[in-house]
Every structure is written in C-alpha cells, then in structure tokens.
C-alpha cells in the first residue's frame, strides 16, 4: 500500500480592498452580474465574472427553473458563454459572489462539483490555470487553478 497526499493552498483576503486590483475589478463585475440573477426559487442570487486573455470581462448569473434540475449555476452560464462566443480566448480568472436580499452572503461561495468540472475542462482545453476568486461579506478566498478544487478528477485523458 502506498499513501499519497494531495495538497493545495489558497489565499484569504479580509475584504475587497485587500485583493489585488485585477481581482477586485472582477469581483465588482460578479456583484453586478448577481443583481440580474434569475433565482426566484432559492432567492440565492449568484454572479460570476470571467476574465479572458484579451482582458475582456464576461458575466453570468444563476438561471433557475420551475423544474429545478433544468436551471444552471452562474459559473457555468458565464464560462459557457465565454467558450461559446470567444473560443480562441483563454480564460484567466473567474470571480464568484452571491447576494441574498441584495447583500453579499456571509459565507464564501465555493463552486459546486459540476462547476468545478466545467472549470477544469476549460483549464485543460486552454492549458492555462484559471484563478478562482470566491467572495463573501466577510472576505475572499483565491485559488490559482481549478485543478486544486477537484483532485483525482476525471479528464479527457481517461477516454
């Protein structure tokens, strides 16, 4: 038997002012996106902002549905829009926040498993790590690549 450990680090920032300028700008856009979320069922309004290689920023938000599984998370709305419309552009970063009753939620919003898998696909596709900035009212966490959020992941290599 051989035991292997998987380690990763993340940065924690107390507030948006402490974030690197480029991250803070992306967070602003994610907040803007969250305001347009369609989330009448959960009332959990998520916004995501994607930064492309050419510095373009694209926004997405969660789109819910009366048939619950038909809805989609903010991260995948933003990422799929980016990949659909700018297929040549590498994705550099994504910021994620959530609003409840118009205010940032107290706990850091970490992406769901499906969104992690979608981010990993984009990371693999462009062979470029995606910086993930996750926000809350009480601070921000940042990881340098989607791969950190999905150890032992399934990729196209297995096919």
13: alpha, beta or left, given left = phi > 0 and alpha = psi -120 to 50?
A: beta
By 3-state DSSP, what share of the chain in percent is helix, strand and coil, each rounded to 5? 35, 25, 40
Give whichever of 46 and 104 is closer to ligand THU, judged by the CB atom. Answer: 46
Give whichever of 57 and 118 is closer to ligand THU, judged by the CB atom. Answer: 118
The answer to whether the CB of 106 falls within 8 A of the CB of 137 is yes
Q: How far is the CB of 63 from ligand THU (least distance, A)?
A: 8
Give whichever of 71 and 129 is closer to ligand THU, judged by the CB atom. Answer: 71
Q: Is 75 a catalytic residue?
A: yes
Catalytic site residue from 75, 88, 101, 123: 75
Residues lying near ligand THU in the complex (CB under 6 A):
39, 42, 44, 46, 62, 64, 71, 73-75, 96, 109, 111-112, 115
The span from the CA of 116 to the CA of 153, in Å, is 10
Tell me which residues are annotated as active site.
Answer: 75
């Amino acid at each position: 038997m051989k035991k292997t450990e998987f380690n990763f680090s993340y940065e924690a920032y107390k507030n948006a002012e402490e974030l690197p300028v480029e991250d803070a700008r992306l967070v602003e856009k994610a907040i803007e996106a969250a305001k347009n979320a369609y989330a009448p069922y959960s009332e959990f309004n998520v916004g995501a902002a994607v930064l492309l290689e050419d510095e373009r920023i694209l926004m997405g938000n969660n789109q819910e549905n009366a048939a619950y599984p038909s809805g989609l998370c903010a991260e995948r709305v933003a990422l799929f829009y980016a990949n659909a419309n700018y297929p040549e552009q590498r994705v550099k970063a994504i910021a994620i926040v959530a609003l409840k009753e118009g205010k940032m939620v107290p706990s850091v919003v970490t992406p769901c498993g499906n969104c992690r898998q979608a981010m990993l696909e984009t990371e693999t596709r462009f062979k470029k790590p995606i910086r993930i900035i996750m926000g809350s009212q009480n601070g921000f966490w940042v990881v340098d690549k989607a791969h950190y959020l999905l150890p032992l992941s399934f990729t196209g290599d297995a096919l």
